[in-house]
Chains A and B, each alone.
Chain A
Amino acid sequence: MSRDNDRWLTDLREDGEAREAALSELRTALLRNLRQALSRYSVDDAFLEDAVQDTLLRILDRLGQFQGRSRFLTWATSIAIRVALGELRRGRWKDVSLEGVLATAGFVPDQIVDRESPPQAQAERRALLHTLQQLIEHELTERQKTALLAELKGMPQDEIARHLGSNRNALYKLTHDARKRLKRGLETAGYAAEDVVATLPR
């Protein structure tokens, strides 16, 4: 198991025996690593083997994207983990509709003020949340609101993208733009980003 990065790349790009040997070695190593990575999740061998198979196809497809800035096997493992956790999330959420998630999501600031905290702190928190609510209502598009709320409700990004007929990169841009609008809005209203973060429980 002492292949260096160049050797992996050369052999995987070859035809014939060298490639078969490299693929077999990579499959074994990924299976071992993925089993380790997912030891906290309940998955069986068939799941792991399918995920490794998908990963191998992806890797062969993207060999040109490997920049050699880490060990090849670490890079391959990071892809295997994305594939496997993506599959697990999809399985958990496949029967959940976006409408179902959003139907239960609203934004009612009064109910989330800590009644135990001093009156001054409660008033400040209420004012902050009121501003945030106004910004969500008036500064965000429906699509941005939908994506942001669904994400807060824990829906996986791939699932939200699928429901919106989009893809994960475009979804990221959508929610990033939404966050930027909210941040600018809060700053305009006198709330500095660092101060907002500083008041939150760790």
Chain B
Amino acid sequence: MTLSKKEIDSLLRLVGLTRESELNCEQCLALVSEFAERQLAGKSVSESLQHVEHHLSICEECREEYEALRRTLEAVEEQDG
């Protein structure tokens, strides 16, 4: 077995989206709660939060965690009215 077409495409995407300076997963975690709240409220994101958005576009694990957080905040908001 080799890398599948999907895996090759995701490598190309990762390389294409690579920036000189990026947040790592720990730095992303420190900011993701603020990012999620602002996204949910439809507010604009500051420059530091744009780095979060970029990290989420290339890191599958942080993206999975962010999506779970987002769903949770939405559900809690609904329950609490």
Contact = CB atoms under 8 A, between A and B. Distances in A.
A186 B68 contact: no
Contacts of A186: 15
Given A33-B72, A37-B69, A180-B18, A106 B3 contact: yes
B64 A85 contact: yes
B65 A82 contact: yes
For chain A, what secondary structure do more than half of its interface residues adopt (helix, strand, loop), or is it mixed?
helix
A200 to B, nearest CB: 5
A119 to B, nearest CB: 18
Contacts, number: 126
Contacts of A37: 68-69, 71-72
A70 B73 CA distance: 12
A92 interface: no
Contacts of B7: 152-153
A47 to B, nearest CB: 15
B27 to A, nearest CB: 9
A143 to B, nearest CB: 17
B53 to A, nearest CB: 15
A71 interface: yes
Interface in A100-123: 104-109, 111-112, 114
A75 B69 CA distance: 10
A174 to B, nearest CB: 11
A148 interface: yes
Contact of A74 (B3, B33, B68): B33
A10 to B, nearest CB: 20
**Most chain A Cβ neighbours within 10 Å, of B12, B24, B29, B34:** B12
A112 B64 contact: no
B68 A197 contact: no
11 contacts: A69-B34, A71-B37, A74-B33, A77-B72, A108-B2, A152-B7, A156-B61, A176-B18, A176-B24, A183-B18, A196-B12
Interface of B: 1-5, 7-18, 20, 22, 24-26, 29-34, 36-37, 61, 64-65, 68-69, 71-73, 75-76
